[in-house]
Structure 1
Amino acid sequence: MNDASLTDVLTFKLSDDGKLLAAFEPCESKPPVDEAAIKMALAKQGLSSLFLYENSLSNLVQQYNSLNESFVLEIGERRDGVCSIHIADDKMTASLTLTPPYGGAPVGLLQIQLALQEKGVVSGIMKNEIEAALKEGYAKERVIAKGLPPVRGIDARFQSLIPEIRERKPRVDEHGIANYRDLGQLIVVRPGDPLMFRTPPTEGKKGRDITGQILMPEPGQDTPFASGLQGVEIDSNAELDPDHNTLLLAVIAGQPKLVPNGVIVEPTIDLPRVDLSTGNMNFDGTINIKGDIKDGMRICASGDVFVGGIVEAAEIEAGGNIVVKGGVIGHSEHSGDSNETPTFNARIISKGSISARFAENVCMEAGTDIIIEEFSMHNHLTALNRILVGKSGGKKGRIIGGITCASVLVKAAIIGSNAGFITKIKAGFNPYLQAQLDKLKLEIDVSEKELEDLKKIIAFVLAHPEKDKNGLLNKALHTREKVEADCTRLHTERAHLLSEMTLAENVQVIVEDSVHCGVEIQIGNSIWKNNEERGKGVFQIVDGAIDFGNIMLSVDRSQ
């Protein structure tokens, strides 16, 4: 069968109202037909783009084969392109479904715009997506409009301003040698140092749905600095302006520690011990050590230092008090000269008081008192107020060997020993004032020597006026005037220091049990060398000389 024979009995045409009609005219021998042949015939007539009804071709084939009389069957139609808009329930998206035309007109941009307008879509329209859909000619629930969701506000944020705490490692010198005791500085803050910024929460950003409705955001959570933060305060200037970050400042010196929503400043460092594992300690505050301080370590604190264990051959320096529960054991090197102070590798220096259970081969210097519970052996003790060894009424308080210096009072149960160690007790003068006096004396000697030389120059020029060249006499007279003023000032300072040093009449060395041979007592400028065993009593100045009297008649200054 060929196409020409099929078109003789079966023709197709498009009606005025766009309907696709199939007309059959019977003949004596009609050729057989199937759906494929019908489609080919439609294509040849340019009608293949029309919409075909469901089962229309199979119905046409059935009637064609079963009837032999004329009939006209509507099998399809011309259809224009169609678009539909779907709006999401939350009105945040609009989706386009675009059906292509069947022989009709395609959907245009204006048609989609009108559809959006009918749905009330006025915001977030995605023109590029619409153009892409029109170009493709087909779309199924393609999003062509999106609303702008609100942006939740940012919660309050906390930013630490404390330098990152790095691992403490041994310092290496320029020769590449590591000092395993020096592990670097601890993080320390001082009053007024900024510690943390708190950024207030934001309100967030408003949103808008596709219908143009404004959507309000959820504000960020406002979290203030934690309550009860110790050692810190909120900067009052930053608090006045809520649009600015809130600043947390240190009000005391100490070690900062980050806590939830804030920082605290601890004026005390707690350590189990001080050894190579911790390194030397240098802290602007108080250091509390539960255990021992090992040989060769160094502690420096602006506040107090508390040691629960023993201090070996180490150094401690404190701006406050030093308390050693377990005593101090050091080593010393002697030159052999009894008048020279030995070199100690254990040094305890405090601007406040020093207390220890015992001390051996230690150099101690206290701004107020030194209090030792049991014994002081071969130490160099210096206190600007009192040195008390042992408890009042007890017999454990021994001072054996070394030099013990105090401005007001030295008190012990026993001074010296049967072994004959030379034990020196000095009281009645300030050792630091003595150093200043020595320095002043050197300055006075230099100034007086210069003054004497100037007087000789002036006398010579007056005797030989012809030698006065370039104003030598005037220069010498002017210099003499200045040096004389310096001498007067230095002598005044020396007299003031000497008045402060005059303590001998008010000081005492109290012995509550006994004094052994080899003990040397110095009060002010007077010296007593003890050459026999003595019992309890008091050394003090009586009629300008040291007297050893009954302890019951003395004034007890230990309280």
Structure 2
Amino acid sequence: MTEQGMPLEYYVNVTLSQDKLVAYLHFTNCDETFTCTVAQLEDIVKNQHIIHGVNHEILAKIASTPVAYMLEKTIIATGDKPVDGKDGYIEYMYDLNGNEKRPLEREDGTVNYKEVTSINNVRKGQIIAKRIPPMDGTNGKAVTGEALFAKAGKEARFKLGKNVVTDTEQTAMYAAIDGVVVKTDRDKINVFPIYEVNGDVDFNVGNINFVGTVVIRGNVHPGFKVKASGDIRVTGGVEAAELEAEGSIEISAGILGQHKGFVKAGKNVKSSFIQDGTVEAGEDIVVSQSIMHSTIRAGKNVLCQGTKGLIVGGTIQAGDKVVARTVGNSMSTVTAIEVGVLPELRNELIQLRTQMRSQMDNLDKTEKALSLLDQMAAAGQLSPDKLAMRIKLGHTKKQAVDELAHLKERILEIEKTLEDTDKAKVMVGSMVYGGTKIVIGRYTKFVKDPTSRVCFKLDNGDIVATANF
């Protein structure tokens, strides 16, 4: 009983929040004359089974001046809220949402607007993603002393698409092939061996560098670069751009080189036409219409056999043979056809001969200087600095002689390959015009008059023209 004549519960009411994390005290049926002690308040709190997080300081303040707390609920106990565990998640090694598609900033602060596409290249066996396990939560405690259990974090799961695998513990995802990492429907992760561009390669797409095959369903605009470890297929045309593939390159609408850029394939290049371009292939270059004013190098064959089948202007080099319907034109445009040796060896030979001439000139100058110094030495007029120069020039001469010997040896090696030209031939199905230069191995023939349906090949050290294909 209290001094007011009624049990304390008549004047003081204690309630709990629904989650039992907070206990409130509020007054009922009392006026400004009401009084109570701390012990009485603590007893009523205990009777309500509130044993955790009790604020004894606030109870003391209520007991000392209850009138200050009569108009509102007062928090007298606070529990510990449970902290739920964190869900596990998949950590990707790549940006799979396209957030990195922006121009590349150079070191000097300028921006390269051609470098906007970031292809998620991946090699077989390379890690694509890691599975991060969930974190445990922390249990809480109600003001009544009850444990409030935290929710456990959820396990993340890999969403496997095509050409990806996981380890036995399901902790990491790996690429099963070389290709591009792509997220598809329902967030499945795949590795595709082909990278497709549904449109032109321009400033919206940027330069491309891919470990597989690239398919471009449009054109490649001037100044852009496409590089692939596999093949490159372009349904449109290529204009003054750089294409390089370890496999083959196929261009449906042709190449307009503008004497800029190049097209280079480890295997074959196929195009409808090539104009003012530079094209290299490890094996064959196949053109259905025409090759005009271009530099062409093929490890095996250059074949221009379509309805037009025209080669005019520029230089055509092939390891084995060149086949065309028409070579040159009635205006005698200079057209060089070279067969019988790998183009890189023929070009290396030209460079070696240039280096040899330069080295011989340098050696001649060195020998003249040494001769003058030898004369001075014989006359006893050699000063210390001239002596040092003489020694230095002696070393220079030895290096030049050694270098010349090396150059001569390499030139002989290549010239021997020039002799092996049994298979080399130039085959013209319709007409070859004057102004055409035919080179087979180390031998050269200039065509003076138009000739129809002819095959050029080497016979006893001479290039002969026959009608036998």
Give the letter for the 2:243 counterpart: E
1:481-524 C-alpha deviation (Å, 9 max, x unpaired): 44433333333333344444544343122234554455432212
State the distance in 2 between where 1:108 and 1:495 align: 116
Give the letter for the 1:322 counterpart: I
Q: 1:143 to 1:440 in 2, by over 3 A?
A: same
Q: 2:281 aligns with which of 361, 366, 369?
A: 366
Q: 1:233 to 1:462 in 2, by over 3 A?
A: farther
Give the letter for the 1:319 counterpart: A
| Shift, 1:355, TM fit | 0.5
In structure 2, the residue matched to 1:491 is 408
1:48-78 C-alpha deviation (Å, 9 max, x unpaired): xx86xxxxxxxxxxxxxxxxxxxxxxxxxx4
State the distance in 2 between where 1:168 and 1:496 align: 51
Contact in 1 for aligned 2:328/2:436 (Cα 8 Å):
yes
Higher mean Cα deviation, 192-201 or 316-325?
A: 192-201
Q: Does the residue aligned with 1:274 lie in a helix, a strand or coil?
A: coil
State the distance in 2 between where 1:266 and 1:459 align: 73
The Cα RMSD (Å) is 4.4
Q: TM-score, normalised by structure 2?
A: 0.76
Q: 1:212 aligns with which of 110, 130, 145?
A: 145
Q: Does the residue aligned with 1:218 lie in a helix, a strand or coil?
A: coil
**Structure showing greater Rg:** 1
State the distance in 1 between where 2:104 and 2:47 align: 77
In structure 2, the residue matched to 1:187 is 118
Gaps of 5+ in 1: 1-16, 19-49, 52-77, 332-343, 553-559
**Does structure 1 residue 201 correspond to structure 2 residue 130?**
no
**Does structure 1 residue 270 correspond to structure 2 residue 185?**
no
| Shift, 1:201, TM fit | 1.6
Q: 1:522 to 1:88 in 2, by over 3 A?
A: closer
State the distance in 2 between where 1:550 and 1:462 align: 70
Higher mean Cα deviation, 89-98 or 433-442?
A: 89-98
State the distance in 2 between where 1:86 and 1:213 align: 16
In structure 1, the residue matched to 2:263 is 348
Q: Does the residue aligned with 2:151 lie in a helix, a strand or coil?
A: coil
Map 1:464-483 to 2 at 5 A. Answer: 464-467=379-382, 469=384, 471-472=387-388, 473-483=390-400
State the distance in 2 between where 1:89 and 1:309 align: 69
Give the letter for the 1:373 counterpart: S
| Shift, 1:290, TM fit | 1.3
Contact in 1 for aligned 2:207/2:225 (Cα 8 Å):
yes
State the distance in 1 between where 2:141 and 2:341 align: 87
1:252-306 C-alpha deviation (Å, 9 max, x unpaired): 8876655666765666443343376636534344432212345x35333234331
Q: TM-score, normalised by structure 1?
A: 0.66
Map 1:336-485 to 2 at 5 A. Answer: 344=259, 347-390=262-305, 396-417=308-329, 421-452=333-364, 453-454=366-367, 455-456=370-371, 459-460=374-375, 463-467=378-382, 469=384, 471-472=387-388, 473-485=390-402
Q: 1:456 to 1:224 in 2, by over 3 A?
A: farther
Map 1:157-306 to 2 at 5 A. Answer: 157-158=89-90, 162=94, 165=99, 168=102, 182-189=113-120, 191=122, 198-228=131-161, 257=182, 268-274=194-200, 278=204, 280-285=206-211, 286-294=213-221, 296-303=222-229, 304-306=231-233
In structure 1, the residue matched to 2:253 is 326
Q: 1:116 to 1:196 in 2, by over 3 A?
A: same
**Does structure 1 residue 147 correspond to structure 2 residue 62?**
no
State the distance in 2 between where 1:475 and 1:380 align: 44
State the distance in 2 between where 1:171 and 1:98 align: 69
State the distance in 2 between where 1:442 and 1:517 align: 29
State the distance in 2 between where 1:292 and 1:93 align: 69
Q: Percent identity?
A: 20
State the distance in 2 between where 1:160 and 1:248 align: 9
Give the letter for the 2:55 counterpart: M
Q: 1:477 to 1:171 in 2, by over 3 A?
A: closer
| Shift, 1:324, TM fit | 0.8
Q: Does the residue aligned with 2:336 lie in a helix, a strand or coil?
A: strand
Q: How many corresponding residue pairs?
A: 449
| Shift, 1:371, TM fit | 0.6
Contact in 2 for aligned 1:346/1:361 (Cα 8 Å):
no
Q: 1:514 to 1:105 in 2, by over 3 A?
A: closer
Q: 1:475 to 1:185 in 2, by over 3 A?
A: same
Give the letter for the 1:130 counterpart: L
Contact in 2 for aligned 1:403/1:425 (Cα 8 Å):
yes
State the distance in 1 between where 2:128 and 2:103 align: 25
State the distance in 2 between where 1:105 and 1:531 align: 130
In structure 2, the residue matched to 1:507 is 424
1:424-459 C-alpha deviation (Å, 9 max, x unpaired): 321123343344333333443444444442452564
Contact in 1 for aligned 2:101/2:118 (Cα 8 Å):
no
State the distance in 1 between where 2:381 and 2:427 align: 70
**Does structure 1 residue 136 correspond to structure 2 residue 51?**
no
Q: 1:407 to 1:459 in 2, by over 3 A?
A: farther
Contact in 1 for aligned 2:22/2:77 (Cα 8 Å):
yes
**Does structure 1 residue 548 correspond to structure 2 residue 465?**
yes
Q: Does the residue aligned with 2:317 lie in a helix, a strand or coil?
A: strand
| Shift, 1:107, TM fit | 2.7
| Shift, 1:161, TM fit | 5.9
1:129-183 C-alpha deviation (Å, 9 max, x unpaired): 53454333566875533432422222223456657746657999x9x9x99xx44
In structure 2, the residue matched to 1:27 is none
State the distance in 2 between where 1:438 and 1:421 align: 23
